[in-house]
Amino acid sequence: MNSDLSPSFQFRNDILHVDDVAIPDIVATVGTPVYVYSRQKFERQYHLLETSIAVFGGQICYAVKANSNLAVLKIFNALGAGFDIVSGGELQRVMAAGADAGRVVFSGVGKSAADIDLALKLDIGCFNVESAAELARIAERARLLGKVAAVAIRVNPDVDPKTHPYISTGLKENKFGVPAAQALALYDFIQSNDHLRAAGLACHIGSQITTPQPMIEALENLLKLIDQLQDNGIELDHLDLGGGFSATYDTEPPFDFADYSERVVAALDNRKIQIVVEPGRFLVANGGILVTTVEYLKPQPSDEHHNFAVTDAAMNDLIRPALYQAWHGVDNVARRDPNAARRWDIVGPVCESADFLAKDRLLTIEPGDLLAVYSAGAYAMVQASNYNSRGRPPEVLVEGDSFSVIRRRETSTDMLRLELPER
């Protein structure tokens, strides 16, 4: 088992528990597939990060896109987090969770006029602006609404985070942010506009970053720009360094926060500016699992062929393996004799060859067994779909020795409700 999961996910009497709740007890109530989250794990991750960045007074803005369930948002709101959003829908979610709009940062390259208007009316903390065209739109919407928009230009520092290309966001070929040279001109525009206020400077170079080095390189580039802005008489409130801190799925080393914090302090060199970080995956990935039932086994007569364990969970419930070639640990919920183990591909019922949760796993499996797919607290339910007209699973939150359904299972009626039958 991934060591980053414990102590929230442990075997007791050969049955996997989430904190003090046995997984079969949850399944008996809600069935499978089901996402199960540990509140204690979420809180421990938050406190670990909070303590690590306290040395430079960092502010955490949870990246809602990682896991946007209202109950999860309420947990981080109660812990004191702000929120990093990328859509008007996410803004409505954090407001429904009781968040202070003044602690919301709005990122993303494609903000619509309706999204911007909503954010302006709610007086959010800051827009992270990704293009000259977006800045012009925000200025115009603010003028029409009689508002002053707090903005930060997101700079693309052209730093390679050494991660999967789909989650790299800080290279010049990526769609995010603007070059530093263009940022200077945009800040001049901000200063000349009565409906804009230069609040900060932002960047985000990617996700699942395992070492501080690329983050520090990006920080050093941004600080040079801040010094240039100060020389031009532009003083900023904050520097948003984005997120990207890695979670351990398999054998990745844990992110070295002690080294990161020490190097951030050294790079700041006594500059007085608020640092904002936007973690998502790091806080929630290993606080959740996807529990699924084995429907059928398709063993093969030869080792030249794959053995398939067909489960009731599929790529529409966890698309990361198909989309990113991501690795997720898999365990039996009830331990079986390891001497009878075979190598299995864990696949779902969706009609795609890409429909797999894990490949080549050494497991002892029987039909009807429950399997736990680890590290499903981030980018699982938020990326789930209704492909093959499959309802999305419920979400369950464990709090100590009790659990509650925080999103019920989606039914066929739910899926059909928005469709208009032919009259």
Question: Based on C-alpha coordinates, what's the Rg of the chain?
Answer: 23
What 3-state DSSP class applies to 347? strand
What 3-state DSSP class applies to 315? coil
Q: Where are the alpha helices (DSSP H) in 122-179?
A: 132-145
Determine the Cα–Cα distance for residues 275 and 56; give it in Å rounded to an integer.
7
Residue 351 falls in the annotated catalytic set? yes
The answer to whether 292 and 324 have CB atoms below 8 angstroms apart is no
CA triplet 264, 269, 271: central angle to 5 degrees?
Answer: 100
List, in order, residues 6 or more apart from 363 with CB less than 8 Å away.
309, 330, 332, 341, 342, 344, 371
Torsions phi, psi for 18 (to 5 deg):
-105, 110
Determine the Cα–Cα distance for residues 342 and 301; give it in Å rounded to an integer.
12
Which value, to the nearest 10 degrees, does the dihedral of the CA atoms of residues 79, 47, 203, 100 take? 10
Determine the Cα–Cα distance for residues 354 and 47; give it in Å rounded to an integer.
37
The answer to whether 154 and 177 have CB atoms below 8 angstroms apart is yes
> Computed from CA positions of residues 306, 312, 316, 318, in that sequence, does the dihedral angle turn out positive or negative?
negative
Which of 61, 126, 203, 351 is an active site residue? 351
The answer to whether 54 and 296 have CB atoms below 8 angstroms apart is no
The catalytic residue positions are 351
